[in-house]
Amino acid sequence: MKTNESYEEFVKGIWRDNPVFVQVLGMCPMLAVTNSAINAIAMGMASMFVLVGSSFLVSAFRHVIPKQVRISCFIIIIATFVTIADYTLLALVPKVHKELGAFIPLIVANCLILGRQEAFASRYPTKLAVMDALGMASGFMLALFSLGAVREILGDGALFGIRIFSENFEPWIVMILPPGGFLTLGVILLFFNWFKYKKDEFLADVAKAERGGG
Interface with other proteins (CB under 8 A): 35, 62-69, 72-73, 76-77, 79-80, 83-84, 87-88, 90-92, 94, 98, 101, 123, 155-156, 171, 173, 176-177
The smaller minimum CB distance to other proteins, of residues 98 and 198, is found at: 98
Shortest distance (Å) from residue 145 CB to other proteins: 18
Shortest distance (Å) from residue 125 CB to other proteins: 10
What is the secondary structure of the chain as a DSSP string? -HHHHHHHHHHHHHTTT-TTTTS---HHHHHHSTTSHHHHHHHHHHHHHHHHHHHHHHHHTTTTS-GGGHHHHHHHHHHHHHHHHHHHHHHH-HHHHHHHGGGTGGGGG-HHHHHHIIIIITTS-HHHHHHHHHHHHHHHHHHHHHHHHHHHHHHHSEETTEE-S-TT----HHHHSHHHHHHHHHHHHHHHHHHHHHHHHHHHHHHHHHHHH-
The smaller minimum CB distance to other proteins, of residues 25 and 121, is found at: 121
Shortest distance (Å) from residue 177 CB to other proteins: 7
The smaller minimum CB distance to other proteins, of residues 2 and 211, is found at: 2
The smaller minimum CB distance to other proteins, of residues 71 and 111, is found at: 71
Shortest distance (Å) from residue 64 CB to other proteins: 7
Residues 6+ apart with CB under 8 A from 139: 13, 14, 15, 17, 18, 19, 20
The amino acid at 40: A
The smaller minimum CB distance to other proteins, of residues 90 and 207, is found at: 90
Shortest distance (Å) from residue 149 CB to other proteins: 16
The smaller minimum CB distance to other proteins, of residues 31 and 189, is found at: 31
Shortest distance (Å) from residue 6 CB to other proteins: 17
